[in-house]
């Protein structure tokens, strides 16, 4: 019927109830997919953001400090103490992607 008002007007009560049931089922399926996709996109975004330097929020993390915190190479090279825990940085270890 495709939402055609004339076709709906000529349908019987049983046919309309059956159509209503199918529409409700389709609505539930769409709502479930919306939730699923939203959660998936949030996880993807969160994972991508977790790889960004928390100082500049522009570049990927590339250095690990002696305290365990991380920053991008550009930000990390400028630090003598950790911007997160304020401990003196005694080692800066370069991280590489496999």
Verify that 41 and 74 share a domain, yes or no.
no
- Contact (Cβ atoms closer than 8 angstroms) between residue 71 and residue 78: no
Verify that 62 and 82 share a domain, yes or no.
yes
Provide the domain count of the chain.
Answer: 2
CB atoms within 10 A of CB 29: 10
Verify that 46 and 57 share a domain, yes or no.
no
- Contact (Cβ atoms closer than 8 angstroms) between residue 76 and residue 60: no
Tens digit of pLDDT per residue, the chain (98 long)?
A: 556 788 788 889 999 999 999 999 999 999 999 999 988 888 777 667 779 999 999 999 999 999 999 999 999 999 999 999 999 999 999 998 76
Verify that 59 and 97 share a domain, yes or no.
yes
Two structure tokens written together for 68: 């365990």
Cα 68 to Cα 47, 56, 81, 82, 84: the distances in Å are 19, 18, 12, 9, 10
Verify that 58 and 91 share a domain, yes or no.
yes
79: containing domain: 52-98
Question: Global pTM?
Answer: 0.53
Verify that 40 and 63 share a domain, yes or no.
no
Verify that 68 and 28 share a domain, yes or no.
no
Two structure tokens written together for 9: 């007007």
Verify that 44 and 58 share a domain, yes or no.
no
């Amino acid at each position: 019927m495709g939402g055609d008002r004339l076709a709906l007007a000529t349908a019987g009560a049983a046919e309309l109830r059956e159509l209503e049931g199918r529409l409700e089922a389709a609505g539930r399926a769409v709502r479930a997919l919306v939730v699923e996709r939203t959660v998936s996109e949030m996880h993807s975004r969160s994972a991508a953001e977790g790889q960004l330097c928390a100082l500049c929020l522009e570049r990927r993390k590339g250095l690990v400090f002696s305290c365990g915190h991380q920053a991008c190479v550009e930000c990390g090279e400028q630090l003598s103490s950790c911007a997160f825990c304020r401990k003196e940085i005694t080692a800066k270890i370069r991280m590489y992607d496999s």
